[in-house]
Protein backbone atom coordinates (compact mmCIF):
# COMPACT_ATOMS: atom_id res chain seq x y z
CA UNK A 1 0.00 0.00 0.00
CA UNK A 2 2.76 2.39 0.91
CA UNK A 3 4.59 1.47 -2.28
CA UNK A 4 1.53 2.29 -4.39
CA UNK A 5 1.15 5.69 -2.73
CA UNK A 6 4.79 6.38 -3.31
CA UNK A 7 4.44 5.57 -7.00
CA UNK A 8 1.31 7.69 -7.30
CA UNK A 9 3.05 10.54 -5.53
CA UNK A 10 6.00 10.21 -7.88
CA UNK A 11 3.69 10.36 -10.89
CA UNK A 12 2.04 13.54 -9.67
CA UNK A 13 5.43 15.18 -9.18
CA UNK A 14 6.51 14.33 -12.69
CA UNK A 15 3.26 15.75 -14.05
CA UNK A 16 3.75 18.99 -12.12
CA UNK A 17 7.30 19.35 -13.41
CA UNK A 18 6.16 18.73 -16.98
CA UNK A 19 3.39 21.31 -16.71
CA UNK A 20 5.81 23.82 -15.21
CA UNK A 21 8.30 23.22 -18.02
CA UNK A 22 5.61 23.68 -20.67
CA UNK A 23 4.45 26.85 -18.98
CA UNK A 24 7.98 28.31 -19.01
CA UNK A 25 8.38 27.47 -22.69
CA UNK A 26 5.09 29.19 -23.49
CA UNK A 27 6.22 32.29 -21.64
CA UNK A 28 9.47 32.38 -23.59
CA UNK A 29 7.54 32.14 -26.86
CA UNK A 30 5.54 35.24 -26.00
CA UNK A 31 6.94 38.44 -27.57
CA UNK A 32 8.36 40.77 -25.01
CA UNK A 33 6.22 43.93 -24.96
CA UNK A 34 7.92 47.20 -25.93
CA UNK A 35 7.72 49.87 -23.29
CA UNK A 36 6.57 53.40 -24.08
CA UNK A 37 10.09 54.66 -23.62
CA UNK A 38 11.44 52.18 -26.17
CA UNK A 39 8.69 53.14 -28.63
CA UNK A 40 9.57 56.83 -28.28
CA UNK A 41 13.25 56.03 -28.76
CA UNK A 42 12.48 54.10 -31.94
CA UNK A 43 10.41 57.01 -33.27
CA UNK A 44 13.26 59.45 -32.55
CA UNK A 45 15.70 57.24 -34.47
CA UNK A 46 13.37 57.16 -37.48
CA UNK A 47 12.92 60.94 -37.42
CA UNK A 48 16.69 61.52 -37.21
CA UNK A 49 17.27 59.09 -40.07
CA UNK A 50 14.77 60.87 -42.32
CA UNK A 51 16.29 64.23 -41.41
CA UNK A 52 19.80 63.08 -42.34
CA UNK A 53 18.58 61.73 -45.68
CA UNK A 54 16.83 65.04 -46.42
CA UNK A 55 19.95 67.08 -45.54
CA UNK A 56 22.12 64.81 -47.65
CA UNK A 57 19.78 65.26 -50.60
CA UNK A 58 19.73 69.04 -50.17
CA UNK A 59 23.52 69.09 -49.91
CA UNK A 60 23.85 67.76 -53.44
CA UNK A 61 22.71 71.07 -54.90
CA UNK A 62 25.50 73.08 -56.52
CA UNK A 63 25.95 76.70 -57.40
CA UNK A 64 25.98 78.04 -60.92
CA UNK A 65 29.77 78.19 -61.09
CA UNK A 66 30.56 75.34 -58.79
CA UNK A 67 33.49 72.96 -58.92
CA UNK A 68 31.32 70.28 -60.53
CA UNK A 69 33.03 69.27 -63.75
CA UNK A 70 32.45 67.15 -66.78
CA UNK A 71 33.90 63.63 -66.68
CA UNK A 72 35.89 64.66 -69.77
CA UNK A 73 37.49 67.66 -68.03
CA UNK A 74 41.27 67.36 -68.09
CA UNK A 75 43.16 70.11 -66.27
CA UNK A 76 46.21 69.63 -68.45
CA UNK A 77 44.38 69.56 -71.74
CA UNK A 78 45.93 71.47 -74.64
CA UNK A 79 42.99 73.88 -74.53
CA UNK A 80 44.15 75.20 -71.15
CA UNK A 81 47.77 75.82 -72.08
CA UNK A 82 49.32 79.16 -71.29
CA UNK A 83 48.83 81.80 -73.95
CA UNK A 84 51.90 82.28 -76.10
CA UNK A 85 53.34 85.61 -77.22
CA UNK A 86 52.47 84.96 -80.86
CA UNK A 87 48.80 84.25 -80.15
CA UNK A 88 46.78 87.06 -81.75
CA UNK A 89 43.27 85.72 -81.09
CA UNK A 90 40.61 88.38 -80.56
CA UNK A 91 37.13 87.14 -79.63
CA UNK A 92 34.35 88.72 -81.68
CA UNK A 93 31.92 91.09 -80.00
CA UNK A 94 28.48 89.77 -79.13
CA UNK A 95 25.53 90.38 -76.85
CA UNK A 96 26.43 87.42 -74.64
CA UNK A 97 28.29 88.56 -71.55
CA UNK A 98 31.07 91.09 -71.15
CA UNK A 99 34.18 88.92 -70.80
CA UNK A 100 35.25 89.62 -74.38
CA UNK A 101 35.68 93.29 -73.43
CA UNK A 102 38.58 92.28 -71.16
CA UNK A 103 40.09 89.51 -73.28
CA UNK A 104 43.13 91.67 -74.09
CA UNK A 105 44.36 90.82 -70.57
CA UNK A 106 43.83 87.15 -69.59
CA UNK A 107 44.39 88.08 -65.94
CA UNK A 108 41.26 90.20 -66.03
CA UNK A 109 39.21 87.35 -67.46
CA UNK A 110 40.34 85.07 -64.63
CA UNK A 111 39.62 87.68 -61.97
CA UNK A 112 36.14 88.30 -63.36
CA UNK A 113 35.42 84.57 -63.29
CA UNK A 114 36.54 84.49 -59.66
CA UNK A 115 34.15 87.31 -58.81
CA UNK A 116 31.31 85.71 -60.77
CA UNK A 117 31.47 82.61 -58.60
CA UNK A 118 28.11 82.44 -56.76
CA UNK A 119 27.32 85.94 -57.99
CA UNK A 120 24.92 87.25 -60.62
CA UNK A 121 26.73 88.64 -63.65
CA UNK A 122 24.95 92.00 -63.47
CA UNK A 123 26.19 92.54 -59.90
CA UNK A 124 29.77 91.69 -60.84
CA UNK A 125 29.77 94.06 -63.80
CA UNK A 126 29.17 97.04 -61.53
CA UNK A 127 32.16 96.10 -59.39
CA UNK A 128 34.62 95.21 -62.15
CA UNK A 129 35.08 98.81 -63.29
CA UNK A 130 35.99 99.98 -59.77
CA UNK A 131 38.31 97.04 -59.17
CA UNK A 132 40.22 97.46 -62.43
CA UNK A 133 40.53 101.19 -61.81
CA UNK A 134 42.21 100.31 -58.52
CA UNK A 135 44.13 97.36 -59.98
CA UNK A 136 44.52 97.70 -63.76
CA UNK A 137 46.76 94.63 -63.99
CA UNK A 138 48.12 91.70 -62.00
CA UNK A 139 51.21 93.56 -60.79
CA UNK A 140 49.11 96.40 -59.41
CA UNK A 141 46.85 93.90 -57.63
CA UNK A 142 49.81 92.43 -55.74
CA UNK A 143 50.97 95.86 -54.58
CA UNK A 144 47.73 97.38 -53.36
CA UNK A 145 46.53 96.86 -49.79
CA UNK A 146 44.14 93.95 -49.35
CA UNK A 147 41.71 96.22 -47.51
CA UNK A 148 41.37 98.44 -50.58
CA UNK A 149 40.37 95.47 -52.73
CA UNK A 150 37.90 94.45 -50.04
CA UNK A 151 36.24 97.87 -50.19
CA UNK A 152 36.07 97.77 -53.98
CA UNK A 153 34.27 94.41 -54.06
CA UNK A 154 32.33 94.69 -50.79
CA UNK A 155 28.92 94.78 -52.49
CA UNK A 156 29.50 91.24 -53.80
CA UNK A 157 29.89 89.81 -50.31
CA UNK A 158 32.63 87.53 -48.99
CA UNK A 159 34.99 90.41 -49.71
CA UNK A 160 37.78 89.27 -47.38
CA UNK A 161 38.05 85.83 -48.94
CA UNK A 162 37.62 87.15 -52.48
CA UNK A 163 40.25 89.87 -51.99
CA UNK A 164 42.81 87.34 -50.77
CA UNK A 165 42.02 85.08 -53.70
CA UNK A 166 42.47 87.93 -56.20
CA UNK A 167 45.89 88.75 -54.78
CA UNK A 168 46.96 85.13 -54.58
CA UNK A 169 45.85 84.55 -58.17
CA UNK A 170 47.65 87.71 -59.29
CA UNK A 171 50.90 86.72 -57.59
CA UNK A 172 50.96 83.25 -59.15
CA UNK A 173 49.85 84.60 -62.53
CA UNK A 174 53.00 86.73 -62.73
CA UNK A 175 55.22 83.68 -62.27
CA UNK A 176 56.79 81.96 -65.26
CA UNK A 177 56.59 78.37 -64.03
CA UNK A 178 52.95 77.57 -64.81
CA UNK A 179 52.15 75.91 -68.12
CA UNK A 180 48.37 75.54 -67.84
CA UNK A 181 45.92 78.08 -66.52
CA UNK A 182 44.36 75.37 -64.35
CA UNK A 183 47.49 75.42 -62.19
CA UNK A 184 46.57 78.86 -60.87
CA UNK A 185 44.64 79.16 -57.57
CA UNK A 186 40.90 79.57 -57.88
CA UNK A 187 40.79 78.48 -61.52
CA UNK A 188 38.28 75.68 -62.12
CA UNK A 189 36.55 74.49 -65.27
CA UNK A 190 34.47 77.65 -65.64
CA UNK A 191 37.45 80.03 -65.57
CA UNK A 192 39.60 77.64 -67.62
CA UNK A 193 36.94 77.38 -70.34
CA UNK A 194 36.60 81.18 -70.38
CA UNK A 195 40.38 81.47 -70.75
CA UNK A 196 40.36 79.06 -73.71
CA UNK A 197 37.41 80.80 -75.36
CA UNK A 198 38.30 84.46 -74.86
CA UNK A 199 42.08 84.47 -74.44
CA UNK A 200 43.66 81.72 -76.53
CA UNK A 201 40.96 81.03 -79.13
CA UNK A 202 40.87 77.31 -78.39
CA UNK A 203 37.12 77.41 -77.97
CA UNK A 204 36.56 74.39 -80.22
CA UNK A 205 38.48 72.21 -77.77
CA UNK A 206 36.22 72.90 -74.79
CA UNK A 207 32.55 72.43 -73.97
CA UNK A 208 31.46 74.86 -71.24
CA UNK A 209 28.84 74.04 -68.61
CA UNK A 210 27.96 77.60 -67.60
CA UNK A 211 24.84 78.77 -69.44
CA UNK A 212 26.13 82.26 -70.38
CA UNK A 213 29.53 80.93 -71.42
CA UNK A 214 27.78 78.23 -73.38
CA UNK A 215 25.68 80.81 -75.23
CA UNK A 216 28.82 82.61 -76.39
CA UNK A 217 30.38 79.26 -77.35
CA UNK A 218 27.32 78.45 -79.46
CA UNK A 219 27.57 81.90 -81.02
CA UNK A 220 31.15 81.11 -82.06
CA UNK A 221 29.99 77.81 -83.51
CA UNK A 222 27.36 79.59 -85.59
CA UNK A 223 29.95 82.03 -86.95
CA UNK A 224 32.75 79.51 -87.42
CA UNK A 225 33.01 80.00 -91.18
CA UNK A 226 33.30 83.75 -90.79
CA UNK A 227 36.05 83.36 -88.18
CA UNK A 228 38.19 81.04 -90.30
At residue 180, the 3 state secondary structure works out as: strand
How far is C-alpha 171 from the geometric centre of its chain's CA atoms? 25
Rounded Cα distance, 138 and 173, in Å = 7
Residues with a known catalytic role: 210
What is the DSSP code string of 75-90?
Answer: TT-GGGBPPPTT----
CB 190 within 8 A of CB 207: no
Rounded Cα distance, 186 and 199, in Å = 17
CB 100 within 8 A of CB 91: yes
The CA distances from residue 118 to 91, 93, 112, 138, in Å, are 25, 25, 12, 23
Amino acid sequence: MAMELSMESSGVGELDLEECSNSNKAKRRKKKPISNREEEKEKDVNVIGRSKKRKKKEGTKTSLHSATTSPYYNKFDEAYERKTADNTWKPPQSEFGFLHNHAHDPWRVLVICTLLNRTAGTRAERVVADLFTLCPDAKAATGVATEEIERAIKSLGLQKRRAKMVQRLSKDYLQEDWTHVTQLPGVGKYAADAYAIFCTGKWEQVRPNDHMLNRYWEYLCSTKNALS
